[in-house]
Structure 1
C-alpha cells in the first residue's frame, strides 16, 4: 500500500489535494477565529502569524521533505494571520467602504479593497525575488525566462535551496495572485455582457488548472509533489470556487457551525494526507538538502 501511495500518479495527486484544501480550510479557520475570539481576534491573528514564521524558521534546518512540509504549513498560517486579518483590520481602522462594482449588484468588500491595493507592492516583490532571481529553479519563473527571452543566468550548480522559505513564499504569492486575479476580473460584472467575459476567462483558467493537474500526476518525489501541488491546487481552487460567487452553490466552508460534518471531513482529509506525505519513511524518499542543513 505504501509503495502505491508514494508512486506516480498518486503521490502527485495527494500533493495537489493538500494545496487545494488549504483554501477552503483557510476560510474555515478564518471564520472559527472570528467567532471564537470575538473582539480579541486581531491579537490572536497576529500570534497565528508568529507561529507560522516560527514553523518556517524551524524548517530552515530540516531536510527537503520536512522543510517543504513546514514551509507549507507556516506560509498558510502567515497568510491567515498576517495577510487576511490585516486586510480586515486596516479596512476597519480607516473605515474603508465597500466598492460597488455595478449598480444593484456586486460590491467589493472593504478588506478585498485593501488586498487589491497591494497589487503593485506584491508584484514588485514577485519581480525582484522571483523573475529577477538568478538562483530560481521555479518552473513558473523559468517559463517566463524562456518565453520572454529574458534570463538573469543559470543557477549556480549545486546551490542548496532553502526549501522552507521557498515553499512559504509560494503559498503566499500564489494565494495572493489568485485573489488579485479574480477580484479584478469580477469588475467586468456579475450580470449583463460582463458575465460572458468572465465565463470565457474562467474556461481558460480551468484549462490551465487541469493542465497543472496533469503535471501533478507526473511527479515522482514527495517534496516536489507537495510544492507543485500547492500552486496547482490553489489555481484549481479558483475553478471550484468561482461558480459559488454566481450562486451555483453555497460556500460551505464559510459556515462551519452550519455544516460541521462537511468541514470536519475536509479537515480530517487534509490532516491525514498532510501527515501521510510529510512523514514518509526516510528510507523510501530521495531528498535534496535544504540550504541550512549541515553536510
Structure 2
C-alpha cells in the first residue's frame, strides 16, 4: 500500500471520528435550544416529533442496501430518538413531578432529568444481560466479555442476530449513550463516589486512554460504514472524559450556551457536514 493510499484510509477514520464527535455538542445544543425557545405546551410535541423523525430514519435505513447510507441513517436516527424520546421524556417527568436539580454553591451542577435517569439502570442491566448471555452481536466488547465468561464455548448459548447496518448502529448509539450517562451519574453521586473522587478521576483518564487506543485502531479501518460504527464507541468513551473535565470546571462548555456561542456551533455543524460530504465522495470514487 503506497503512502497516499495509507493517508486516505487514515483520513476516512479521522473523518468518521470527527463526524461522530461533533454530534455530541450539537446534540446538547439542539436540546437546550428547544428548551429555551419553545413554550412548555409545544416542547413535548416537538420532542416527540424529533424522536419520531429519528425512528423513521432508522427504519428507512433498514431497507437501504448500501452500507454507508444505512449506517448514517442508524447514527442520526439513534441520536434523534435519544434526544427526543429518551432525554426529553426524563425532562418531562422531572418537571411534571418537580424533581429538584442538584445544587452546589447556588449553581445547578446536575439537571433533574439526569438524576432520575439513574433509575433506569435496572432496564439497562436486563438488556445488557441479553446481549452478553444470549446474542452474538459482533460487538468487540461484548465478545471479549463472552470469551472471558466462557459463554462462546457453550454450544447453542449464543444466537446470531440478523445484522442490519442501520438498526445495529441505532442500537449501538443508544446503548453506548445510556451506558455513558449512567457511569457519569453514578460517579458524580456523592453517596457513592463524587465528582472529585479518585475513582471518578480514574474513569476520566481511563476513558481517555481507552479512546486513544480505539482511535489508533480506527485509523486503520478502510470501510466507511464500519469506520462510522467504530467511531461511535471511540467518541462516546472519549466524551466521558470531556464531560468529567467540564464537571471539574477545567474548560467552558460552549454547547450549554448555544445561543451565546452560535457562531462556534454553526462552524461545528458546517465542518461536520463537510466531513460527511468527503466520506460520501470517497465512497463514490472507490466504487
| Fold shared by both chains (TM-score > 0.5) | yes
Deviation at 1:134, TM superposition (A): 3.4
Deviation at 1:160, TM superposition (A): 5.3
Residue of structure 2 in register with 1:144 after alignment: 145
Q: Does 1:181 align with 2:173?
A: no
Which structure 1 segments of 5+ residues have no match?
Answer: 286-295
Alignment partner for residue 90 of structure 1, among 79, 93, 99?
A: 93
**Distance between the aligned counterparts of 1:190 and 1:138, measured in 2?**
30
**Distance between the aligned counterparts of 1:103 and 1:283, measured in 2?**
56
Q: Deviations over 1:24-45 (max 9, x none)?
A: 1110111111223222111100
**Distance between the aligned counterparts of 2:121 and 2:86, measured in 1?**
13
Deviation at 1:4, TM superposition (A): 5.5
Deviation at 1:139, TM superposition (A): 1.3
Residue of structure 2 in register with 1:289 after alignment: none
Helix, strand or coil for the counterpart of 1:244?
helix
Distance change >3 Å, CA 104–CA 214, structure 1 → 2: same
Number of equivalences? 276
Residue of structure 2 in register with 1:74 after alignment: 77
**Distance between the aligned counterparts of 2:285 and 2:105, measured in 1?**
61
**Distance between the aligned counterparts of 1:281 and 1:208, measured in 2?**
29
Q: Deviations over 1:185-236 (max 9, x none)?
A: 1222245xx2x33223322221111111111112111000000001111111
Distance change >3 Å, CA 54–CA 244, structure 1 → 2: same
Deviation at 1:123, TM superposition (A): 2.2
Residue of structure 2 in register with 1:288 after alignment: none
Residue of structure 1 in register with 2:254 after alignment: 252
Deviation at 1:73, TM superposition (A): 0.8
Aligned partners of 1:19 and 1:231 also within 8 Å: no
- Show structure 1 runs of 4+ deviating over 6 A: 102-106
Deviation at 1:76, TM superposition (A): 0.7
Distance change >3 Å, CA 258–CA 283, structure 1 → 2: closer
Higher relative contact order (CA 8 A, sep 6+): 1
Residue of structure 2 in register with 1:230 after alignment: 232
Residue of structure 2 in register with 1:291 after alignment: none
Normalising by the residue count of structure 1, what TM-score does the alignment of the two structures yield? 0.85
Helix, strand or coil for the counterpart of 1:120?
helix
Normalising by the residue count of structure 2, what TM-score does the alignment of the two structures yield? 0.87
**Distance between the aligned counterparts of 1:26 and 1:221, measured in 2?**
26
Helix, strand or coil for the counterpart of 1:263?
helix
**Distance between the aligned counterparts of 2:52 and 2:111, measured in 1?**
26
**Distance between the aligned counterparts of 1:38 and 1:106, measured in 2?**
22
